[in-house]
Structure 1
Amino acid sequence: MDLPRIFTIRESSHRVHNPITTDKLATLGRALDPEPGTRVLDLASGSGELLCIWARDHRITGTGVDISTVFTEKARARAAELGVADRVDFVHGDAAGYIADEPVDLAACIGATWIGGGAAGTVELLSHSLRPGGVMLIGEPYWRRQPPDQDTLEACHAVSESDFRPLPELIEQFGSLGYDVVEMVLADQDSWDRYRAAQWLNLRRWLDRNPDDELSAEIRAELTEGPARYARYEREYLGWGIFALMGR
């Protein structure tokens, strides 16, 4: 049980595996201002940056669950680097269907709502781990602009326009599920650039070191075509944000 190797190659230098920066994660932490001892569950926690910096800055405790062995080890190393390994732990496992042994104060799935079959299913999954009155964090794409054609949809990792919603409709969806949106931090185009462009450098450095690897042709094609496709489509049409929700 693990992520395909190309994912960990592509994002080998990333601390955050979404188009959001560490500074924006810190901004969200300051906005929510969790009390010391707040218990957090982060499903699909990646390299653990949210849990680690919030444990350092706000003294939360927490558990992260991620399917990637590489990212889980990076998360543990990051916790040790920041001196918070006694406050957060990271579990290698499938986050889909994971429910905490005891209710937590804050439950998160940031940028991986496929674990619940979409935003609605992930909200339902997280609700089983969240105490009454707790805060839920969902990271989710939305349309910045209406996609004009199938090429745009596919470049934005969508099959149809209904795969994502415009920002107002996404917020309304959370309301229809019985939740108030109480905070949000949105990626901007610079956030997207830092996420995507860092991938290109990772790919090029890997390719230079591994020209004969079985993945080299796939990675060469991605590096050749990806930057212009990103600039033409994803950067212009796709937004992304983290939304803090509280049940009504």
Structure 2
Amino acid sequence: MDRQTISALAHADHPIAAPISPAHVERLLARTKLKTGARILDLGCGEAAWTLRALELFPETSADGVDISPGGLAAAAKDAQARGLAGRIRLHETSAAGFTAAEPYDLVLCVGATHAFGGLAPTLEAVRSFVKPGGLALIGEGFWEQNPSPALLTRLGATPDEYADLAGTVARMEEPGFRVVHGHTSERGEWDEYEWSWTGSLIRWAAAHPGPDGDTALAAALDHRDMWLNGYRGVLGFVTLLLLRT
């Protein structure tokens, strides 16, 4: 069972796919104040939970969602149809790094998907190329709430500069020509809800599918849970920043 399949199963009950509550997703989207005719791009959209809510909040806008997961895109298409939004969103099964567009966008999202570009810096460069001057981006990224131990870094396969602290993350976000105009730092309860959902969904799937795949899913869930509870809980934070392209 590959990593993409495990991730899809783990996020089955948490389509936002980031440690953020629906209420805070809506609050962040409302802050964009998109105008009639605005164009939205979601890089690494998954089931397009963010983008579909944006389309509901801002009538007469349109969107493109990009992801490599056929299952995620199928779920997004089904949800869009059920919510009467199918005619306003185009879904693209391709890598975020390989996507191209003929016109710039008013809002570009990349939340919890900076790995698709190889990290935050290349993500910001790519996102900026898609945002029209004066347009907006919503970027969600991890940051160190506390200095990680060497053991935790080894387990995460990370380096100390993989993330900055919160102030450093804001500075990194602004460096390539953005200004932070709003943001949300995920609360401990949001993180816990996300992680309990991630591990619990995978454990329940494993129990319903005995055999090699079930064993692989269960091992992944238990390893992830241990790394969270005995490793990065309270050490790794998550922040979603609304950026204005200068």
| Cα deviation code 1:220-247 (max 9, x no counterpart) | 2233343343123222111111111123
TM-score (structure 1 length as normaliser): 0.91
Q: Does residue 30 of the first structure (1) align with residue 19 of the second (2)?
A: no
SS at match of 1:65: strand
**Alignment RMSD (CA, Å):** 1.8
| CA-to-aligned-CA distance 1:200-236 (integer Å, 9 cap, x gap) | 2211221121111x23333222333433431232221
Q: Choose 4-13 or 20-29, whichever is displaced more.
A: 4-13
Aligned amino acid, residue 115 of structure 2: W
Partner Cα distance (2:242, 2:221) in 1? 35
CA contact (8 A) 2:206 2:215 kept: no
Counterparts of 1:128 and 1:82 in 2: how far apart (Å)? Answer: 31
Counterpart-to-counterpart distance in 2, 1:102 and 1:110:
21
Q: CA deviation at 1:154?
A: 4.1
Preserved contact between residue 109 and residue 138 of structure 2 (Cα < 8 Å):
yes
Matches within 5 A, 1:184-203: 184-203=183-202
1:115 equivalent in structure 2: 116
- Does residue 73 (structure 1) correspond to residue 74 (structure 2)? The answer is yes
Structure 1 counterpart SS, 2:40: strand
Contact conserved, 1:179 with 1:246, CA < 8 A, in 2? yes
Structure 1 runs not aligned, ≥5 long: none
Residue 42 of structure 1 deviates from its aligned partner by 0.7
**CA distance in structure 1 between the partners assigned to 2:83 and 2:154 by the alignment:** 39
Instruction: After TM superposition, list the pairs within 5 Å mapping 1:33-52 onto structure 2.
Output: 33-52=33-52
Structure scoring higher RCO (CA < 8 A, sep ≥ 6) equals 2
Moved more, 62-71 or 105-114: 105-114
Q: Give the equivalent residue in structure 2 for 1:94.
A: 95
1:210 aligns with 2:209: yes
Amino acid at match of 1:203: L
Provide the C-alpha distance between the structure 1 equivalents of 2:225 and 2:113, rounded to a whole number of angstroms.
23
Comparing 4-13 and 162-171, the one that deviates more:
4-13
C-alpha distance in structure 2 between counterparts of 1:109 and 1:183, whole Å: 15
Residue 114 of structure 1 and its aligned partner are, at CA, apart by 2.0
| Map of 1:165 onto structure 2 | 164
Deviation of 1:117 (Å): 2.0
Question: How far did 1:131 drift?
Answer: 1.1
Aligned length: 244
In the aligned structure 1, how far is the partner of 2:21 from the partner of 2:157?
Answer: 23
Q: Which runs of 5+ in 2 are unaligned?
A: none
> CA shift at 1:51, angstroms?
0.8
Question: Matches of 1:146 and 1:86 in 2, distance apart?
Answer: 47
Q: Which residue is equivalent to 1:131? A: 132
Which sits farther off after the overlay, 36-45 or 217-226?
Answer: 217-226
Q: 2:147 maps to which residue?
A: 146
- Higher mean C-alpha deviation, range 195-204 or range 159-168: 195-204
Q: Please state whether the residue corresponding to 1:162 is helix, strand or coil.
A: helix
Q: How far has the Cα of 1:73 moved from its partner?
A: 0.7
Shift of 1:109: 1.2
Q: CA deviation at 1:20?
A: 1.4
Residue 63 of structure 2 aligns with which residue? 62
* CA apart distance, 1:161: 1.1
Instruction: Tell me, in whole angstroms, the C-alpha distance in 2 between the residues paired with 1:61 and 1:119.
Output: 26
TM-score by length of 2: 0.92
Aligned counterparts of 1:108 and 1:97: Cα–Cα separation in 2: 16
CA distance in 1, matches of 2:184, 2:171: 17
